[in-house]
Structure formats: C-alpha cells, structure tokens
Amino acid sequence: MADPATKEDMSNLIRPPTVRHTIGVLDRTLFAKTINLAAAAIVDKKKIAQWRQSLQKEKTLLLGERLSSVVPHPDQTLASQGARCLLLDPKIRPGVPDTWTPLLRNAVEKKELGIVPYDLSLDYAYWTYEEVMRCLLPPGSRDEHDGFPTGFNQAGHVAHLNLRDGFLPYKKLIADVLIDKNPGVRSVINKVANVGTESEFRTFNYEILAGDDDLNVEARENDCIFQFDYAKVYWNSKLEGEHRRLVHLFTPGEVVCDLMAGIGPFAVPAGKRGVFVWANDYNPESHRSLDSNIKRNKVTQYVRAFNEDGRSFVWRAADMVYAASTSGEHAVAKPKRVSRHHQQKDGEKAKEETSTPEQRIPIPPTISHFVMNLPASAITFLPHYRGLYAGHEQLFEPHTSTKLPMVHVHCFAAKAEGEAPMLDVCERIAAELNAPIKLGDPEVPGEAAVLEIRAVAPNKRMFCASFRIPATVAFASRE
C-alpha cells in the first residue's frame, strides 16, 4: 500500500479537470484529462505478474481507484504484439534515473525493464458521480447536511429525487449525470410535494428531469418481482432491509394481517415462505398491483388482497381468519422430489427418486402479527384494535398456547439523544391504545421494542415499534 503522502499526491493528480460551474447543458468533453506518467515496459511478457508484485511491494507501482496498473505498451506496434507495461508512481520520471529506485535501475541495466513515457488518458466515463458533481455544482449550492444530492429512491428504471431548494437550478444536470453513472436508471423524477400532503394514498406530484416519462416499472426485491405504476402507488427501495427483517419474523403456517400492504413488499415474500397473509390497502391502484403481484409470484394460496379502510379492516381480518379456519380452509404444499443415492452390490452407485406426500396446511384461527407500515399516521389506527377478539378469550393463553397478536407499527419521531425518541413512541402508542406501554421486551405484556429503521431527514427518523396487543384491549367489548 502507498504511504499517506503518496496517496495524497495521487489524489491531487488524479482528479477531474476544473470545469466552470454552469446551469446549462452538460458538456462531457470538458472532463477529458491526460496525465503524464512513467511506465515499466516488461521485456519478458511471462513475468508481468512477478514484476507487478515486486513493484507493488516496494511502493513503486501506480495505485489508483478504478485504474489498472497493467496497460498496453504506448508503442502501438509493440502493443499489437502483446507488449505490456506497468504504470509507475508519479514520482518516477522517464529519462530521470535519479527518480528510479535501485530495483528499477538494476532491472533497466539488465534489460529486463524499460522506463518509458506513458500518457494516461481519462475521460468523463472514468469520473464518479460525486467527482462530476463537485466540478459542476458551486459550493454555495451544497447543503450543510447532505453535501451533494447522492441518495435517491430507485423503483425499477426510475430514480426518484427529493432535491433541496439549493440544487433546483442544477436539477437537469444532476439528472443527466445520474443516468450516466447508474446503468439501471432510464428516468429521473423529482418530487414536488410531500408524500401524504396532497394524497391520502402516499402518492406525490413529480416532474420528469431526464429520460422517459414512463413510470411503469418492474422492481425485484427479496426474491420477488413487483410491477406497478410508480406515479400511482407508494414504493421505497430503501426499505428493502426492513421488509426482509419483518418477513423473517413470521413463521410459516401462521397468519399475518398487513393493514397498509401497498403493492406487497411484506405480503408477497411472506407468502413465498408459506405464511398466510390478509393484505389490505386503501389505494385502489395499490390493490390492483398487489393482486397482480400475488399472482405473478404464485402465492395465491397464501396471500389474499383487500381494498378497504384499514380502520375497519382490523376487526374484519380477525373475523375472516377465524371463519376461514373453522370452515377448514387450507393451502396445499406440492409434493417434493427427493433424490437418494445408494451403493449397489457391484459397487455401482444408483440414484433413487421418491416424492414427499401432498401436505394440507390449515389456516389457524387467529392472527399472529399485524403490520402497519404507514409511518405518518399508523399509530392513530391503534384505537381500532379495541375489541379485536371480544368473546374469543378461549383461543388464547392460558386456555391455549397461542399468544395475542404482535403489532409492528411504523412511525416517525424527531431525532434526539439516547432513548428519548423511543420513549416518545411508547407514550404515543399508550395514549392511542388507552393502555400502558413502556419501552422493553415485546414479549412482556405492556412493553414494546422500538427499533430505529432509517433517517428520513436530518432531524427526522423512522421507527418500528413491536408489542403484543394488551388483553384489556383485545378482549374489550366492541362498541
């Protein structure tokens, strides 16, 4: 590895050329740059790897990000014959032996190497998005928290930006560079209204900054394929980890109620794991995409789509699951082929294939988990759990081994030190449930685990609170 001084020299040498800040069209030709270096021409082509290792060990080799130290010989005739060179550190100069190390001098004397000039040409394709932005955006436009606008939500081929005011004069440039530097992106949009402010369905107004005005996308997440119109539904690729986390908390064969299911990022992968899901979304367009994605991913046995108000769906889901269970509804696990090898008397190996019997998986009578991924308002839906299992006390502990459902409610809270945001979330949950909830172990009655999911703004965080519905809430009379 190069020492810190050499790294700093390289950083100063291999940087984009100075480009005048502009609000106009992106001129990619301005980013061409030639760096004059020295290269070690290898006489014996078979020893390239050996010389590369030796020069790297003595810190003479050029080490730069996204640069190969092995290059064709600058003489095109020799290059066509397979001659290769090793790029050398900028402190090594061709024709100036005083800058050569003893290893290089000795190799040149023995005619094992030749030190030749080499012009390293870099163009727009070489520079990263951040390096290009640093050239194009004046320092005054940069946000003190975000620096450059690097983060975006990607849905299939669409990159969704939420640009701050300081970047708006440069939005076209930003979008063009984003498409250039992200091969999977064909369209860039910018949000022009807060999610939830103008639409109860969490959709938003947007403008096309670059690329096609085609927001019908296909996204892949957690081994599932989702197709949807991004202009009409909610999708956030930054929540993939949270989708995976919750899905892996569910046990195959149990029932989950996803109150704000969207297009199915929790429901569909859970169905693939053999979890029964009653998936609901209030947005008709989300419901259409949800239903289509259930079929596309072949989880119709396990996932059912609904288009209802989540408040009334809490009771409806519990009642429908109980009715489905008592009527004997079930899924059928397809037989699996099992291969087994065994040794025959003559020493030959034989392959034997058998099939597992078809298995009926009954729908249980109760819901094990509720998912509420509507962070702006999900907590306000909690009063509707009162009376969830009124008159069905016999289905749960201590009458059976079944516990009351676990609720996973997403919400926002202000950034603060220590446990303050988590305590605030618990207080809000307790107020809506009209039952005590404190921070702690979700398996302990009256306690909740609150996990920070991600930052959504410099002073705003998204959390997920998990707790079991208190018995006083679940068994209260329905009013």
Annotated binding site for S-adenosyl-L-methionine: 243, 309-310, 373
188 touches 211 (CB < 8 A): yes
φ/ψ region of 466 (left if φ > 0, alpha if ψ in -120 to 50, else beta) reads: beta
In single-letter form, the type of residue at position 121 comes to S
**Which amino acid is located at 182 in the chain?**
N
CA atoms lying within 13 Å on the CB side of residue 416: 12
Angle at 241 between CA 235 and CA 247, to 5 degrees: 90
Say how far residue 139 (Cα) sits from the centre of its chain. 29
Give CA–CA dist 288/275, Å, rounded: 21
d(C-alpha 188, C-alpha 179), whole Å? 7
**Are the C-beta atoms of 419 and 440 separated by less than 8 Å?**
no
Residue 398: cis peptide before it, omega within 30 degrees of 0? yes
In the numeric block, which tokens belong to residue 401?
């081994």
Beta-ladder partners of 147? 143
Number of H helices, E strands in the chain: 12, 22
35 closest CA partner among 19, 60, 20, 17: 17
Six-digit token string for 109: 């004397």
**Distance of alpha carbon 407 from alpha carbon 205, whole angstroms:** 32
Own/partner long-range contacts of 316-321 (Cβ < 8 Å, ≥24 apart): 317/257, 317/259, 317/278, 317/280, 317/367, 318/257, 318/366, 318/367, 318/388, 318/389, 320/278, 321/255, 321/257, 321/276, 321/278, 321/363, 321/364, 321/365, 321/366, 321/367
Binding residues, as ranges, are: 243, 309-310, 373
Tokens of 105: 């001098």
With contact defined as beta carbons under 8 Å apart, do 270 and 250 qualify? yes
The helix/strand/coil state of 405 is coil
H/E stretch holding 392: none
